[in-house]
């Protein structure tokens, strides 16, 4: 059953009791013992990176500052399929504005887009303007967790996965798809590809013999999600292994320990963001992500106690083997792909042209898995450029 009522919402403060609890827990945290040798980030987030951020969180971070910024936008709740969902809706004053839905992933929240909501809404620098909608995914932040299993397709990251599914299955509503995290099959010898893309098929099978880099160019192919939970083949997917198999057990530590929550999230923000090569192992966060931005994300999970519910989507995905419903279908609506330098997955343009209606492909020498935080201007410009392209297509009514 769907409840179409839309109710205004205000991002809440931390209660005095919750603030005291957080500060006391951080002050009395037990840090794990570590090897005496420096192993960098190979074992996960090291103490030297976690402890300074924990001290800032306890004594220097003021939740009311990002809260005030968030509450400058229009927030709402609505109930869909018995789940209370949160979303931001910032309508543009431009008459030619295009509706856009910004979807976050894990371990992120709607706040990831705080740098681009207003520029997209206002059509900054004379670019295309958008009516901006930013939901919190079910079980994330201020959206209620699902009460029953089986919600895998409620999810660049899960936002890209959800977006691909929506774009390929609901083209009557979703008129275009912009992503930095495309999920497609390579150019396999299907009847369509044999007819339209025979050379791409040959290139793909040649790449299996001589390597992707030699065929498509160095660094053009990163299959970060190819081994979803097989940690013996990919050390970076350890988190997916446990979140995809035993999320309840992990959730005790992430729900009860602010320090554990911070460390679990920091590893991903460090590993998945773009660092200059000389600073890769030396900085906890790159200069493009301010500690307060990271701590705001962590605080949203803590305030809402949704880290446990956010990770269950990995269990649903792995156990129900649902990803083929996302990967296989071709996307017929116009597609734009932005490939940031250090994202965790990247596909050759050949693959994208065979599997989608690709209209725009952009490669960047910076940025990582959180481009709305790391490279807000570049992402805004790329979205606006795609929006301008869409205006010239017969998918939106002319004024």
Beta strands at 356-363 and 331-339: parallel, antiparallel or unpaired: parallel
Q: If we measure between CA atoms, which residue out of 161, 196, 175 comes closest to residue 327? A: 161
Q: What are the phi and psi torsion angles at 220 (to 5°)?
A: -80, -15
| From 104, 197, 275, 369, active-site residue | 369
| Helices within the chain (DSSP H only) | 16-27, 47-59, 64-70, 117-122, 158-169, 191-196, 198-210, 212-216, 238-243, 247-256, 258-272, 291-304, 307-310, 312-320, 324-327, 349-355, 371-374, 376-391
With b for 16 or more beta-carbon neighbours within 10 A and e for fewer, the 198-211 pattern comes to eebbebbeebeeee
Do 166 and 133 contact (CB within 8 A), yes or no? no
Active site residue 369: yes
Do 356 and 330 contact (CB within 8 A), yes or no? yes
| From 86, 140, 151, 157, active-site residue | 157
Cα atoms found within 13 Å of the Cα of residue 355, Cβ hemisphere only: 23
Q: How far is CA 167 from CA 121, 144, 156, 183, 335, in A?
A: 22, 24, 14, 12, 9
Instruction: State the sign of the Cα–Cα–Cα–Cα dihedral 223, 229, 233, 234.
Output: positive
Q: If we measure between CA atoms, which residue out of 137, 105, 152, 98 comes closest to residue 120? A: 98
Q: If we measure between CA atoms, which residue out of 348, 299, 384 comes closest to residue 185? A: 348
Q: If we measure between CA atoms, which residue out of 359, 308, 292 comes closest to residue 332? A: 359
Measure the CA–CA gap between 102 and 90, rounded to whole angstroms.
Answer: 12
Per-residue DSSP letters for 305-334? T-HHHHTHHHHHHHHHT-THHHHSS-EEEE
Do 228 and 241 contact (CB within 8 A), yes or no? no
Do 184 and 351 contact (CB within 8 A), yes or no? yes
Q: How far is CA 52 from CA 91, 197, 247, 282, in A?
A: 39, 53, 28, 13
| From 314, 315, 343, 382, active-site residue | 314
Give the residue numbers marked as catalytic: 157, 314, 369
């Amino acid at each position: 059953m769907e409840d179409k009522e839309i109710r205004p919402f205000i991002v809440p403060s931390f209660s005095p009791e919750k603030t005291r609890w957080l500060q006391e827990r951080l002050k009395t945290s037990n840090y794990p013992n570590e090897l005496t040798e420096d192993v960098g980030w190979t074992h996960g987030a090291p103490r030297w990176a976690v402890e300074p951020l924990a001290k800032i969180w306890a004594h220097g971070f003021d939740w009311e500052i990002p809260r005030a910024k968030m509450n400058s936008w229009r927030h709402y709740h609505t109930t869909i399929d018995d789940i209370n969902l949160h979303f931001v809706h910032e309508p543009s004053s431009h008459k030619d504005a295009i509706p856009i839905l910004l979807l976050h992933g894990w371990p992120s929240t709607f706040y990831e887009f705080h740098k681009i909501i207003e520029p997209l809404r206002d059509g900054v620098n004379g670019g295309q303007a958008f009516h901006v909608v930013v939901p919190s995914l079910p079980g994330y932040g201020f959206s209620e967790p699902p009460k029953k299993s089986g919600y895998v397709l409620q999810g660049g990251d899960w936002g890209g996965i959800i977006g691909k599914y929506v774009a390929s299955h609901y083209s009557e509503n979703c008129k275009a798809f912009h992503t930095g995290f495309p999920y497609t099959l390579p150019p396999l010898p299907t009847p369509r590809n044999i007819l339209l893309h025979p050379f791409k098929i040959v290139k793909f099978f040649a790449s299996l013999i001589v390597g992707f880099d030699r065929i498509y160019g160095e660094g053009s192919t990163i299959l970060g999600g190819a081994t979803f939970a097989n940690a013996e083949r990919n050390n970076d997917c350890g988190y997916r292994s446990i979140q995809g198999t035993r999320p309840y057990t992990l959730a005790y530590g992430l729900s009860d320990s602010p320090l554990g929550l911070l460390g679990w999230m920091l590893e991903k923000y460090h590993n998945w963001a773009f660092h200059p090569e000389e600073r890769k192992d030396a900085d906890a966060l790159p200069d493009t992500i301010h500690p307060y931005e990271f701590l705001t994300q962590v605080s949203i999970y803590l305030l809402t106690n949704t880290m446990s519910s956010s990770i269950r989507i990995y269990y649903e995905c792995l156990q129900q083997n649902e990803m083929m419903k996302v990967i296989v279908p071709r996307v017929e609506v116009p597609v734009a792909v932005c490939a940031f330098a250090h994202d965790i997955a990247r596909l050759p343009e050949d693959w994208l042209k065979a599997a989608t209606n690709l209209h725009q492909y952009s490669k960047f020498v910076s940025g990582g898995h959180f481009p709305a935080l790391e490279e807000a201007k570049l992402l805004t410009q790329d979205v606006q450029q795609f929006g301008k392209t869409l205006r010239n297509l017969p998918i939106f009514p002319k004024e």
